[in-house]
Structure 1
Amino acid sequence: MRFEKNNELDQANLRIIVASCAIAYVALLGFLPGRSLLTYLPVLLYYLGFVVMAIAMRHAISRWPGHYPARRIFGMIQDYTGTSFGLVVGGEAALPLYAVMVWINLGNGMRFGSRYLAIATVLALCALLVVWRLTPYWQEQPFLLLMLLTTSTLIPFYAHLLLERTRKATALAEAATREKSRFLAQASHDLRQPIHSIGLFTACLREARLGDEERRLVDSIDRSLLNVSQLFRSILDLYTLDNGRVQPKYEHFAVDGMLRELLRQNAEAARWAGVEMRLVASRQWTRADPGMLATMVQNVLSNSLKYAAGRPLLVGVRPRGDKLAIVICDQGRGIAEEHQEQVFEEFYRVREARDKDVEGVGLGLSIVRRLGGLMGLQVRLRSRPGHGTTVTLDGLPRVDAQAPRVSLEQAQQAGLLTGLRVCLVEDDRNVLQATCALLQRWGCEVQARSSPTGLSSDCEVIVADYDLGPQATGIDCIDAVRAERGWNVPALIMTGHDIDRLQASLHERGIAVLAKPVRPAELRAALRGLRDQLPASAAQG
């Protein structure tokens, strides 16, 4: 709808501009040698009235947007009437106005499609015949009329062929885009499952009694899994941004808490890379989308861990008037000036001989800049070869501190999971086995189900996958258990689908959600948060 409204507004704006140009042209004719302005005064007065009508038409389009065929055809008739009037009164001197007639014809066709192109062509031919009938000069030039009629027919016909080709090409491109979207959506779900299960199995191994050699092997698996997960998330982030489905969801939060959590999540990767990460403490609060901002900082941190291995990394927040800037400084090899703008392009990497073992495809900074654009942030990069790189995320609004909330780190310290009765519903056998084993190592009593059929449980917490086959979803399972128990049992959905699509249904039922692949630390924190929601009677039982 918005696209069509803009087309009509554009057409209305051009109508006013062209009519104004016609007024200037006719007025100029009155000042030529041997001519009088009084001769063209009726034309000038008519076109002034035409401009008034055009302004009124534009106001109507702006006030009542939408697709109104009668209004579009009325606009064409108005255009051809004005052009024909100028051609009749102006005689041979007004012949350049024929270009306006061609513009009316093609403009309506290109903006509104082949149907309107055909209507405009018929009206143009009728207008030319009327002008010929009323103009002695045209009657004396039959070949002129023939040329104009031929031109007014052939040009729109050729434009119609181009429009048809464009329409077919657009349809094919849209079909390809839909197929790509379906493929990526399915691939997203299917790839999340094995990555998710491998991460859980690795967490189980890490908590077992391992020797030094076995622990090194687990570290190697974790490093490889981290690289795959980061690449996977980058591709999905890019796909989501290309679909235009990402919109910021603003919240007030302490920047320091978000940064500390990100550094904690990257502590293991920093240890593997030999990077000492330091955070300058800050008490600043901002209003932004915490998920988007965390993704931006995460991508910058990932680059620093890759390209500044073995060097210290400094993260801090700088106040700048009523704004804040997050600054990430590393002491890596730096980026040459000629590459500093190009590194924000998709798939661009500054490759050197020793980079052959560095993972990545060059999407991180592109995603950072695009996410920053959605929130109105500026992403700046300053680097000197041999002296490191500084990335600044500038433009965060500075707000007053809010009432303190329980941080994720505090939530992780609140209570143990020992004895927590968990109903786990997951139709993927590997994921079910891995999640069950990990929960049991954390001390949970797990009631594992691979199917929603005949589900019955005396659990305190429900953990379910969303996609459980054609019979039911995880939400259906949660509703069924809650109905059986007679109270809203705390619940968590883990899904490989687009969370935004499920957010409304989950929010109204009070169901938490985690996107696969889920890190064990995220799952543990979520379970402890759910346990805190248990009423005293349920917790004691």
Structure 2
Amino acid sequence: MPAAVLVTSKHECLYLTGAIDSYLNVPVGHPTQDLMAMVRTSIRVKLRSAIRKAGLENARVGLDGGHIEQDGHTQRFRLEVLPIRHGEDTLFLICFIEKPGEAATPARAIGLADSGREAELERELEATKTELRGALLDLELSSEEQRTINENALLVSEEFQSTNEELLTSKEELQSLNEELTALNSQLQETLERQRTIMDDLQNVLYSTDLATLFLDRDLRIRFFTPATKLLFNVLPGDVGRPLADLRSHTEDDHLLADAKVVLSGLVPIEQEIEAEEGLWFARRILPYRAHDGGVEGVVVTFTDITERKHVARALEEAKHLADTANSAKSRFLAAASHDLRQPLQALSLLQGLLAKLVETDRAKSLVSRLNETLGAMAGMLNTLLDINQIEAGTLQVEKAVFPVNDILERLKAEFSYQAKAQGLELVKVRSTLWVDSDPRLLEQMIRNMLGNALKYTKQGKVLFGCRRSRDTVRIEIWDSGMGIPESQLSAIFDEYHQIDNAARERSCGLGLGLSIVKRLGDLLGHAVRVQSRPDRGSVFCIDVNRPQTRATRRLEGRGAFVDPAKSPPRVGSVLVVDDDPDIRELLQQLLEADGHTVVAAVDGLEALELLAHRGIEPDIVLSDFNLPGGLNGLELATQARSALHRQVAVAILTGDISAGTLHDIAQQSCVHLSKPVKLHELTRLIQGFLASAEAAAQPLKQLEHRVDAPVVYVVDDDDGVRAAICSVLEDENIAVEAFHTAEAFLHAFKPGREACLLVDAYLPGMGGLDLLHQLTAAGHHLPTMMITGHSDVSIAVQAMKAGASEFIEKPIARLDLLAAVSRALAQAHDATNSSAWRTNAGAKIANLTLRQHEILDLVLAGHPSKNIAVDLGISQRTVENHRASIMKKTGAKSLPALARLALAAA
């Protein structure tokens, strides 16, 4: 079997067989499978050339391999290369075939060979040339392969370099990405740490507030709770996720779950106070739990412990009750003390009145006059104490009126003249014709305190007081040349008990309450109080008082307004005097009898009623104290006396109680209030007014017999003085009048068919004026009606017009205005044509208004102020005022009631 080897296309040995060791040598060093490394050097080139040729031709290749030395002999052999396909690769089977008969020739016998040797050499030479050509070819192929390999290596090197650069770039990117990831991880760690800190802070906040808080999801399952919640529910950490309904509550709160569902659906918080065990109280508040996107993920229920607040509120309520009780007790004490103090003052005042009638010398009259001023000052101080008490108690009622300010200034000038003269000071009053809108009693007290203060701190010089006009106000000023006030104390002087230069608190300087009272009364009345001063030069105190819109008289506001007793001869009548103080009762009896009146006196109400019932006494006037023994006070006596006499007898209540409640009760009973101590001339004037009013009221009945067919004016008013005054004005114009004190009395006496008009007060006891108009209209009696009241407004005017009134007159009213209204009403009653023409004219005036003016007119007649009208119509208040002025101009109306009459007539 010849030696053979199986190799791959890369010359790697796969299998060896035969005596292959004669052709292959194992190289020194690391073992290898490369055939070219193991083959003998002499045949390496031939073998490589044969393998390449077999691979290229894919055919068997054979060539002479030459000879090898073996055991001292030369052995010739032949190379056979056979390509074999094995899958995608090509294998080569190489066979070393020895030539027989040529292997035994010794080497040294070659030189002796014959001529055949030369031929052999030539063949060898040819073979060598062939090998050389093959070697050259192999060299070229190797060079080409080497060039290709070098080019591939260069490409590979470039690719490797590019790859290396890409790897470097990727490495940098990875390094940058790694740094970013590291930074992001650090930020994430910081964020997590911050969130953990925030969570800890929130948890500590929730826990530190000791506020029971429940977080519930939309299914009302527990999401979180604070430890304080355990006071209200049996809740454990493991209860998170459980429905709240499964837990037992320590509170009486049956509406918690229902309220939570309401909050979930309506998103409106609900708060409620609930009571827990052991007397604890909590304010339970449910709010929607909102997520970051605004969605509602559940509710938050908080329970705030308000037990202490409940206790404090209860304690405050008890303290308030005790304070109210103490304040009430103080007020009762002051009222009782005032009554007890006013009794001797009243006796002194009446004695002074008697002395004034008896004394004849100028010196005696001067002393009696000074006594009268002193008594007036004492009464004023007593009233001030009660006023301050009422201010502190919040019960002082402001009774504003329009009056000439000079009346107050005159009284105060007379009151302080003697004091100023005694101090060697000149007291100067500047006469004024201005009218003011204020409470006359409280304003007088403010000026009195300022004047007293000015005289107290003025050692020499003079005190000047008067008033001046300043835009919409009247500024009452008191100037003095006293010590002045440092600028640093201009505000402090209005504090209670603050006095200048009176560190020793000398009683001669008073208590330091005068200016404090002025400031508090000014705040109550809405009058600004100001002061300017220069040390050692004097001071000026100012009170800014509102001026009235119109300087209307008060004739219809008081009793006997149109009847002036001083301008008529004195009248006499019968007077019932009721007072439990014997001194006052006797003095009143003496004074009244001295004026020619018939006087009957009683100790209490029961005795007075006994005199009326069994002795047939029918007094024209009842003069009674308010506080009477025996169970009846003065008002209760007045009611029962009128019932017993079957008429509205005039009643004057003499009392030292000036509280708002008492004054209101007296006014409600249609009685006149006289504050103790009353002066004799005031009492005399009142009695004369009562008698004049009664005489005026009776006069129309006498004239009625002679004027049956004449037009008549029905006057219905519960105020005796006003009713008598209206009758007097109308009768002076020869107008027939029938007067009634109630609407029921008018209906009882009214007989239709006569030419007449009705003048009725809107506010009457029992059936009111509006109710009377409705009843007359329902019965088919259409009397021209004038409604008059001291408490009117536009809405009342509209109601009156709708009820059938043709005129609406506001108090106070002047004589000519009353006569003009009555004249129009009688003209309407006399001639229906005049009424029709008036309505046509009114319709034409109203039709001349614009659409916007019609809207504003409707709202004005509904009683809305300009501010509200502006909001409703979406325009400015100034525009509304301009439209209102234009409406008044186009219609010719001078007042809102006149405008209401015109609008209703045009309807």
TM range (shorter): 0.5 to 0.7
Aligned mates of 2:476, 2:525 — CA distance in 1? 14
Aligned mates of 1:428, 1:327 — CA distance in 2? 42
Higher mean C-alpha deviation, range 157-166 or range 177-186? 157-166
Aligned mates of 1:480, 1:167 — CA distance in 2? 41
2:574 to 414, 421, 424: 421
**Amino acid across the alignment from 2:467:** V
Displacement after TM superposition at 1:214 (Å): 5.9
Contact 1:288–1:375 (CA under 8 A) maintained in structure 2: yes
Displacement after TM superposition at 1:493 (Å): 0.8
2:585 to 405, 409, 432: 432
User: Which residue matches 1:503?
Assistant: 663
CA 1:182–1:403: 2 relative to 1, 3 Å: closer
Aligned mates of 1:298, 1:223 — CA distance in 2? 13
Aligned mates of 2:443, 2:212 — CA distance in 1? 48
User: Which residue matches 1:449?
Assistant: 602
Displacement after TM superposition at 1:181 (Å): 2.6
User: Which residue matches 1:482?
Assistant: 642
Residues 167-197 of structure 1, C-alpha deviations (whole Å, 9 max, x = no match):
6655544443333233222222222212222
Displacement after TM superposition at 1:369 (Å): 0.8
Give percent identity, aligned residues only: 26
Higher mean C-alpha deviation, range 371-380 or range 332-341? 332-341
Aligned mates of 2:548, 2:193 — CA distance in 1? 67
Q: Secondary structure at the match of 1:189?
A: helix
Aligned mates of 2:688, 2:510 — CA distance in 1? 34
Q: Secondary structure at the match of 2:232?
A: helix
Residue 126 (1) aligns with residue 232 (2): yes
**Amino acid across the alignment from 1:509:** Q
**Amino acid across the alignment from 1:181:** S
User: Which residue matches 2:493?
Assistant: 343
Q: Where does 1:46-85 land on structure 2 (aligned, <5 Å)?
A: none
Residues 114-170 of structure 1, C-alpha deviations (whole Å, 9 max, x = no match):
xxxxxxx997833795789549xxxxxxxxxxxxxxxx99x9777777677666655
Contact 1:424–1:464 (CA under 8 A) maintained in structure 2: yes
Displacement after TM superposition at 1:316 (Å): 2.5
CA 1:227–1:297: 2 relative to 1, 3 Å: closer
CA 1:419–1:160: 2 relative to 1, 3 Å: closer
Aligned mates of 2:504, 2:671 — CA distance in 1? 47
Higher mean C-alpha deviation, range 260-269 or range 495-504? 260-269
1:361 to 511, 528, 549: 511
Contact 1:455–1:481 (CA under 8 A) maintained in structure 2: no
Residue 285 (1) aligns with residue 442 (2): no
Aligned mates of 1:435, 1:488 — CA distance in 2? 23
Aligned mates of 2:647, 2:189 — CA distance in 1? 90
Contact 2:578–2:601 (CA under 8 A) maintained in structure 1: yes
Residues 324-372 of structure 1, C-alpha deviations (whole Å, 9 max, x = no match):
3211223344444444333322233335599968474332221111111
CA 1:458–1:370: 2 relative to 1, 3 Å: same
Q: Secondary structure at the match of 1:533?
A: helix
Aligned mates of 1:228, 1:395 — CA distance in 2? 26
Aligned mates of 2:344, 2:238 — CA distance in 1? 76
Higher mean C-alpha deviation, range 211-220 or range 520-529? 211-220
CA 1:358–1:484: 2 relative to 1, 3 Å: same
Aligned mates of 2:532, 2:330 — CA distance in 1? 36
Residue 379 (1) aligns with residue 532 (2): no
Residues 79-113 of structure 1, C-alpha deviations (whole Å, 9 max, x = no match):
xxxxxxxxxx9565343245666599xxxxxxxxx
User: Which residue matches 2:381?
Assistant: 231
**Amino acid across the alignment from 2:397:** Q
Q: Secondary structure at the match of 1:510?
A: coil
Q: TM-score, normalised by structure 2?
A: 0.41
User: Which residue matches 1:325?
Assistant: 475
User: Which residue matches 2:204?
Assistant: 95
Higher mean C-alpha deviation, range 228-237 or range 94-103? 94-103
Aligned mates of 1:462, 1:220 — CA distance in 2? 31
CA 1:133–1:526: 2 relative to 1, 3 Å: farther
| TM-align CA RMSD | 4.5
**Amino acid across the alignment from 1:530:** F
**Amino acid across the alignment from 1:433:** E
Q: Which has the larger radius of gyration?
A: 2
**Amino acid across the alignment from 1:193:** Q
User: Which residue matches 1:461?
Assistant: 621
Contact 1:280–1:314 (CA under 8 A) maintained in structure 2: yes
Higher mean C-alpha deviation, range 242-251 or range 351-360? 351-360
Aligned mates of 2:545, 2:366 — CA distance in 1? 42
Unaligned 5+ runs, structure 2: 1-187, 214-226, 242-281, 283-302, 703-907
Q: Secondary structure at the match of 2:452?
A: helix
Displacement after TM superposition at 1:440 (Å): 3.9
Q: Secondary structure at the match of 1:434?
A: helix
Displacement after TM superposition at 1:465 (Å): 0.8
Higher mean C-alpha deviation, range 368-377 or range 451-460? 451-460
CA 1:177–1:502: 2 relative to 1, 3 Å: closer
Aligned mates of 2:393, 2:232 — CA distance in 1? 45
Residues 63-93 of structure 1, C-alpha deviations (whole Å, 9 max, x = no match):
xxxxxxxxxxxxxxxxxxxxxxxxxx95653
Displacement after TM superposition at 1:242 (Å): 0.6
| Larger helix fraction of residues | 1
Displacement after TM superposition at 1:322 (Å): 2.4
Displacement after TM superposition at 1:448 (Å): 2.4
| Larger strand fraction of residues | 2
1:192 to 339, 342, 347: 342
**Amino acid across the alignment from 1:426:** D
Aligned mates of 1:284, 1:103 — CA distance in 2? 69
Contact 2:651–2:671 (CA under 8 A) maintained in structure 1: yes
Q: Secondary structure at the match of 1:399?
A: coil
User: Which residue matches 2:257?
Assistant: none
User: Which residue matches 1:530?
Assistant: 690
User: Which residue matches 1:34?
Assistant: 191
Displacement after TM superposition at 1:469 (Å): 1.5
Q: Where does 1:109-148 land on structure 2 (aligned, <5 Å)?
A: 125-126=231-232, 134=240
**Amino acid across the alignment from 2:205:** P
**Amino acid across the alignment from 1:202:** Q
Contact 1:197–1:435 (CA under 8 A) maintained in structure 2: no
Displacement after TM superposition at 1:249 (Å): 3.0
Contact 1:440–1:446 (CA under 8 A) maintained in structure 2: yes
Aligned mates of 1:277, 1:173 — CA distance in 2? 44
- Equivalenced residue count is 429
CA 1:373–1:484: 2 relative to 1, 3 Å: same
CA 1:535–1:158: 2 relative to 1, 3 Å: closer
**Amino acid across the alignment from 1:455:** L
Q: Secondary structure at the match of 1:381?
A: strand
Contact 2:395–2:659 (CA under 8 A) maintained in structure 1: no
Residue 254 (1) aligns with residue 401 (2): no
Unaligned 5+ runs, structure 1: 1-30, 41-88, 105-120, 136-151
Residues 219-277 of structure 1, C-alpha deviations (whole Å, 9 max, x = no match):
67556545543432222121111101123333333334444454456566666666654
Higher mean C-alpha deviation, range 474-483 or range 461-470? 474-483
Contact 1:340–1:381 (CA under 8 A) maintained in structure 2: yes
Q: Secondary structure at the match of 1:458?
A: coil
**Amino acid across the alignment from 1:513:** H
**Amino acid across the alignment from 1:502:** T
User: Which residue matches 1:472?
Assistant: 632
CA 1:399–1:100: 2 relative to 1, 3 Å: farther
Displacement after TM superposition at 1:296 (Å): 1.6
Displacement after TM superposition at 1:317 (Å): 2.4
Higher mean C-alpha deviation, range 256-265 or range 448-457? 256-265
